[in-house]
Chains A and B, each alone.
Chain A
């Protein structure tokens, strides 16, 4: 398979067309799940898809080391390349490597203000101009609306698309009218896309419950799952 086919055949096309890039920014997507279900795997697949389409991705990882985040990318790329028989996989990986940058923060030192400062540094000095921003491991349980509104303002200012992952807790039963669980139940209107990961007991897989989708998405009855063994997104 060639790189171009990889883009077109990516199950993520269900969520956004291949030619969708910065033009539609700011878009904000949310991936919610209980701990350990595969949020990072989904964000990394979204990032790799974006990188393959020529976008620059800034991956903000909170509470994870740089090394571990890098390994996520390497492993998932290898799985994709193997699974699709990608030609010249090493060259493709080398080619897209400069399109990614990882920023890691401690849980207790991260704030939207700090992220804004770092992003401005990068852009003003022409070091790295991201098209897509991923925020993984961010705890916004204390005042989600306020923090997420701030985030939304930031991506609007910089004209970015952004994906964020949030942990849900079984014991927290709060929910919005449209079924979005806590802690983001009061902030669902801020997102263009919302995905909730739900383990399926009968099929032993993890379903990507697309609770809200961007207007351009080609859902039409299609569904996405996460293979629990490889953590790869698969269609149907």
Chain B
């Protein structure tokens, strides 16, 4: 049976760390009767908030994994994904955004739009997610929702429109005035669960009238009907709702709500707003690629009778085996159905189907288009598409950033070794930005990811969840090598020592590739290299890319072109041509002026203006290029591009430099050439290290 999709919302909650996402989610669950008591994130009762189900999350007070949960408000069913706030975990945010139809952007009424909110907002724009803004923590000293709304307009480029006016701020925040209903709303009772509507306090009338006019002005841009009604007299509530909804869905308006989740104020109004202004699954156009038809784009229907298309966006190792979170875009699935993983072509039978509520679950029989549910015991990777067997669609792939930092981990004993490999196997499936491999020279296991904290969390999880104790090496930056000029090669591989010989000659040139990692071009004419050995040359070059001869780092940005060669009727073979290509690469590489590249991070430091000089000084010392500063009143943001290798331990330095009053975020920006002096030092260090290992 098709559910009424207009009564369904798939919503993300996304924001800067510590702006109160988890606290807000906790209130939402309480008011929608999913939980019967409120636990604070850093509460004294030691229970921790319901959504922070991982032990580590509870301890650190931050949310690491996005837990999905389901609730019902005024006859509408709402799926909520609680997303992490730290930039190192943005893959989680991005994956959540991919499957959501709308989002609530939470901002702190004091801190306002901080750099992380900008990152998150950019991601939301990338995935065309309509948003409503909730200005939280209005009970804090210094709360200023108007200032924050202005920042939303200026820094996030959103058309922020106030939907409410606060009744009192800071310590004496009592409630809000609803500018659509034109009523004062108070949240009473022990947990703010009793809502009382009243007349608007007289002293607020002027402000309310002004803000209401702004709201009507903005909303009438999206509805002629409303515009006429405004000119003629009093527009109806419904007209305003419809116009605001239209503007929000078109991404041209961001309605702003205010409150304090911690003090239980304004949360129910936000829930009403989610129902009124956030899209239902049918409002959003979702696209899949038809693999059988040259990846033609197909618009999915959200109809239950059409073939199934759904996306696995998150994996978790639960108590009862692997749990796969799925967003269903089209069609339906039932317990016992067989579905196909379009990446592997494998058929899978659905054993158990559940709806998640943080770490508790509810067994269900069927899921239809628009739903977010979880499957048990399905083997797949994050980002896989599942369909019914009559179609072969794939949801467009998600943007996965490169990893920029790595470290070596060494298990302390045999037991830890076994557990560690189990853990790594799990983590790499769950998180595409977390990678692992074994360095064959040192025999060390290397893990790589998006930042120090990202890797720290996985090491901690290894210890706690898998009982795998590991020793951790110093973090290593993911350097790369590339060439800077064109160079010719002409190499013959000959071997004639008993048995059958080996012969192959490969000639051509290599040149820098502007975009992409590697390209192989075959310009051989007249069969100088027989067809069957062309792919052997490609293989040989690909092998050479694994380790550059400059400093043993992977080589990228190279186009290898072969235009001549020679073969022998008996002695030429796949191996001979692979070795010839390796030799040719070595020959050309030296002449092509190889250089070392390092990851450059975009760093944003925020802090009081009095520390601007010392913040800039500290970035400057780290080979940073200061892009600019942004000064607003007493607060300054310094933006810079700094090599990742210089950023280790920066948080400690920054803390002591600014008496703990500044904070920073960083994200990968680009790979850039390492300055000659630094590169020489690095290469020298590496040589020494190698020598020691040799001994």
Interface residues of A (CB under 8 A from B): 59, 65-66, 69-70, 94, 97-98, 101-106, 109, 118, 121-122, 125-128
Shortest beta-carbon distance from B591 to chain A in Å: 20
Contact B626 A66 (CB under 8 A): no
Q: Which residues of A contact B616 (CB under 8 A)?
A: 121-122, 125, 127-128
Q: Name the CB-closest residue of B to A69.
A: B628
Contact B639 A66 (CB under 8 A): yes
Which 8 A-B residue pairings sit nearest by Cβ, starting from the closest? A102-B628, A121-B613, A66-B628, A127-B620, A104-B630, A125-B617, A98-B625, A103-B629
Q: Which residues of B contact A121 (CB under 8 A)?
A: 612-613, 616
Q: Which residues of B contact A97 (CB under 8 A)?
A: 625
Alpha-carbon separation in the docked complex, A104 to B672 (Å):
26
**A125-B620 in contact given A106-B633, A109-B633, A118-B612 (Cβ < 8 Å):** yes
Contact B631 A109 (CB under 8 A): yes
Shortest beta-carbon distance from A229 to chain B in Å: 24
Q: Which residues of B contact A128 (CB under 8 A)?
A: 616, 620, 626
Alpha-carbon separation in the docked complex, A101 to B640 (Å):
10
List the count of A-B residue pairs having beta carbons below 8 Å apart: 57
Contact A103 B617 (CB under 8 A): no
Contact B627 A70 (CB under 8 A): yes
Alpha-carbon separation in the docked complex, A126 to B613 (Å):
11
B632 sits at the interface (CB 8 A)? yes
Alpha-carbon separation in the docked complex, A144 to B155 (Å):
30
Number of interface residues of B (CB under 8 A): 19
B154 sits at the interface (CB 8 A)? yes
Q: B599-655: which residues lie under 8 A (CB-CB) from chain A?
A: 612-613, 616-617, 620, 625-633, 637, 639
Chain B residues touching A, majority SS: strand
Q: Which residues of A contact B627 (CB under 8 A)?
A: 66, 70, 101-102
Contact B628 A70 (CB under 8 A): yes
Contact A125 B613 (CB under 8 A): yes
Q: Which residues of A contact B625 (CB under 8 A)?
A: 97-98
Q: Name the CB-closest residue of B to A58.
A: B628
Q: Which residues of A contact B630 (CB under 8 A)?
A: 65-66, 104
Q: Name the CB-closest residue of A to B640.
A: A101
Q: Which residues of B contact A106 (CB under 8 A)?
A: 631-633
Alpha-carbon separation in the docked complex, A70 to B628 (Å):
9
Q: Which residues of B contact A94 (CB under 8 A)?
A: 672
- Beyond the given A66-B639, A128-B626, please list 19 additional residue pairs across the A-B interface where CB-CB is below 8 A: A65-B154, A66-B628, A66-B630, A94-B672, A97-B625, A101-B626, A101-B627, A102-B629, A103-B629, A104-B628, A104-B629, A105-B631, A106-B631, A109-B632, A121-B612, A121-B613, A125-B617, A127-B616, A127-B626
Q: Which residues of B contact A103 (CB under 8 A)?
A: 628-629, 631
Ordered by A's residue number, 18 sampled pairs between the chains whose C-beta atoms are within 8 Å are A65-B154, A65-B155, A66-B627, A66-B637, A70-B628, A94-B672, A101-B627, A101-B628, A102-B627, A103-B628, A104-B631, A106-B633, A121-B613, A122-B616, A125-B616, A126-B620, A127-B620, A128-B616
Shortest beta-carbon distance from A27 to chain B in Å: 24
Alpha-carbon separation in the docked complex, A17 to B564 (Å):
52
Shortest beta-carbon distance from B490 to chain A in Å: 28
Shortest beta-carbon distance from A164 to chain B in Å: 18
Shortest beta-carbon distance from B589 to chain A in Å: 21
User: Per-residue 0/1 for B677-690: is the Cβ within 8 Å of any A Cβ (1 yes, 0 no)?
Assistant: 00000000000000
Alpha-carbon separation in the docked complex, A118 to B627 (Å):
15
Shortest beta-carbon distance from A98 to chain B in Å: 5
Alpha-carbon separation in the docked complex, A94 to B616 (Å):
21
Q: Name the CB-closest residue of A to B614.
A: A125
Q: Which residues of A contact B631 (CB under 8 A)?
A: 103-106, 109
User: Per-residue 0/1 for B223-241: is the Cβ within 8 Å of any A Cβ (1 yes, 0 no)?
Assistant: 0000000000000000000
Alpha-carbon separation in the docked complex, A121 to B154 (Å):
27
